[in-house]
């Protein structure tokens, strides 16, 4: 009997040798993680189909971001898994932009009135946000890439924007008041 291991929980998943070769998806019975697999009689390749934004944020932070932000980062993760890298970066950026708006309001006491994603640009130039300048400059580049009519994102671009948007969102959320349940 052939077996693979779940990339998330380590559970053993048995593969019927008569079904080989097989290329497609396998779900873990234990944790429901879906993996992309390429199984031949001589080699097994197992990849997690998409990152899990709940795990990447952790339970603690997951409930400190808004419903819109949870939705956006989930779409970023799903797009990443299906190879839609530009769409994924766009949604990672949108997640961060939403957190930035809340943080901007907390620091300046006013609502941000500018257009979508221009908040990244504004915060990158504002000395009040200088502790985040490095990350904000990175996201300004991302914004230019996804906002450009001919721009496309690579897998690496999408993966780093996904990770970095979560990292910066967590830092900013730590400074924010808890959000009301219905926000």
Nearer to Zn ion, 47 or 67 (CB): 47
Q: Shortest Cβ distance from residue 117 to Zn ion (Å)? A: 36
Size of the site for Zn ion (CB under 5 A): 8
Give the x/- contact pattern for Zn ion in 2-31, rule: CB under 5 A: ----x-xx-x----------------x-xx
Q: Shortest Cβ distance from residue 27 to Zn ion (Å)? A: 9
Nearer to Zn ion, 31 or 68 (CB): 31
**CA–CA gap between residue 35 and residue 47 (Å, rounded):** 6
Burial (CB count <10 Å: 0-12, 13-18, 19+), residue 182: exposed
**CA–CA gap between residue 74 and residue 68 (Å, rounded):** 10
**CA–CA gap between residue 113 and residue 66 (Å, rounded):** 19
146 binds Zn ion (CB under 5 A): no
Q: Shortest Cβ distance from residue 5 to Zn ion (Å)? A: 9
Give the x/- contact pattern for Zn ion in 26-55, rule: CB under 5 A: --x-xx-x----------------------
Cα 110-115-175 angle, rounded to 5 deg: 40
Q: Shortest Cβ distance from residue 41 to Zn ion (Å)? A: 24
Q: What is the layout of strands, in order, in the sheet containing 44-48?
A: 22-27, 34-39, 44-48
């Amino acid at each position: 009997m052939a077996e693979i291991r779940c990339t998330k929980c380590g559970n053993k998943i048995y593969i019927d040798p008569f079904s080989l070769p097989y290329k497609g998806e396998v779900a873990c019975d234990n944790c429901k993680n879906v993996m992309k697999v390429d199984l031949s009689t001589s080699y097994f390749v197992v990849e997690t189909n998409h990152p899990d934004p709940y795990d990447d944020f952790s339970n603690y932070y997951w409930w400190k971001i808004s419903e819109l932000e949870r939705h956006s980062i989930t779409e970023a993760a799903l797009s990443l898994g299906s190879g839609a890298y530009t769409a994924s970066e766009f949604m990672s950026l949108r997640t961060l932009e939403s957190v930035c708006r809340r943080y901007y309001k907390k620091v300046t006491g006013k609502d941000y009135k500018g257009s979508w994603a221009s908040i990244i640009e504004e915060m990158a130039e504002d000395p009040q946000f200088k502790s985040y300048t490095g990350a904000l400059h990175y996201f300004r580049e991302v914004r230019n890439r996804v906002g450009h009519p001919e721009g496309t994102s690579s897998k690496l671009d999408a993966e780093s924007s996904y990770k970095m948007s979560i990292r910066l969102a967590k830092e900013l959320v730590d400074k924010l008041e808890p959000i009301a349940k219905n926000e």
